[in-house]
Amino acid sequence: MSRELKQGMADRIMIKTAPFFEKVGSLSKLNRIFICLLTLIMITALYVYFIYMPRQDRITQMEKEYSSLNRKLATYRHKAANLAKYEKMMAAAQVRFNLAMKALPDKKEIPSLLTAISNAGIDSGLEFILFQPKHEIAKGFYAEIPVAIKIEGRYHQLAHFFDLVSRLYRIVNIKDITIAHQNKSDTLAISCRAVTYRFIEKKANVKGKHKRKK
């Protein structure tokens, strides 16, 4: 817009508003003050309605969004903290489970375990009269494997045998112990049951494996 055009527009505005200002100038001082105050109030009201209030609404909306996001962040942090705690608990439970599984051998390890029990008796100087594994007894997720044992030896040899068995990593319990003297000598006739345990792995049932032929 050229300078001459701007000046022309200003002149026209002054010409149109001149009568209004002349009338205002002829009014009393009190009336002029009242008109000024009224004009100021109108300008302020227009500013508040068209500029200030929309900005305040936007600020209020942003504050609500901030509060909502802050609550969500706190919730996610809490969940993340609990997740880390549960992961640690799960890891610890997995370690305990693995240790328990090591104490419960699977079927293929049973012969070596029975050999370890037998070797413990031989290393203690005991003489085996009977070493007879029996049928296993299912007990839910594990099975008991009893072994009938008859041995002969002395007190200290028997104590050494029990000590070696207790040191085996796998679980072996000695039950139903009976001790009798052998012909008034210090040799003992001992009968007992060594009970070890095997983990039974649950297998999922597969349905529809065999279908009828049409």
Mapping DSSP onto H, E and C, the string for 128-142 reads EEEEEECCCEECCCE
pLDDT at 168: 83
**So what's the pLDDT on residue 7?**
59
Walk along the chain (214 residues) and give the pLDDT tens digit of each residue. Answer: 566 665 566 556 556 555 665 665 666 677 767 777 887 888 888 877 777 788 888 888 888 888 888 888 888 888 887 887 878 888 887 777 676 666 666 666 678 888 888 899 999 999 999 998 888 888 877 888 899 999 998 888 989 998 998 888 778 888 888 988 876 677 889 999 988 888 776 665 544 444 444 4
* Residue 10, pLDDT score: 56
Q: Are 151 and 127 in contact (CB under 8 A)?
A: yes
Does the domain at 107-199 match CATH 3.30.70.60? Answer given as yes
Show me where the domains of the chain are located: 1-103, 107-199
Phi then psi for residue 22, to 5 deg, are: -65, -40
Distance from the Cα of residue 145 to its chain's centroid: 36
pLDDT, residue 210, reads 47
Predicted local confidence at residue 148, as pLDDT: 92
Greatest extent of the chain over all pairs of C-alpha atoms, in Å? 148
Across the chain, how many H-helices and E-strands are there? Answer: 5, 5
Distance CA 154, CA 179 (A): 11
Cβ(189)–Cβ(179) below 8 Å: yes
- DSSP one-letter string for 30-65: HHHHHHHHHHHHHHHHHHIIIIIHHHHHHHHHHHHH
pTM exceeding 0.95: no
pLDDT at 191 (0 to 100): 92
Angle between helices 29-47 and 3-26 (to 10 degrees): 130
Residue closest to 163 by CA, chosen among 111, 123, 109:
123
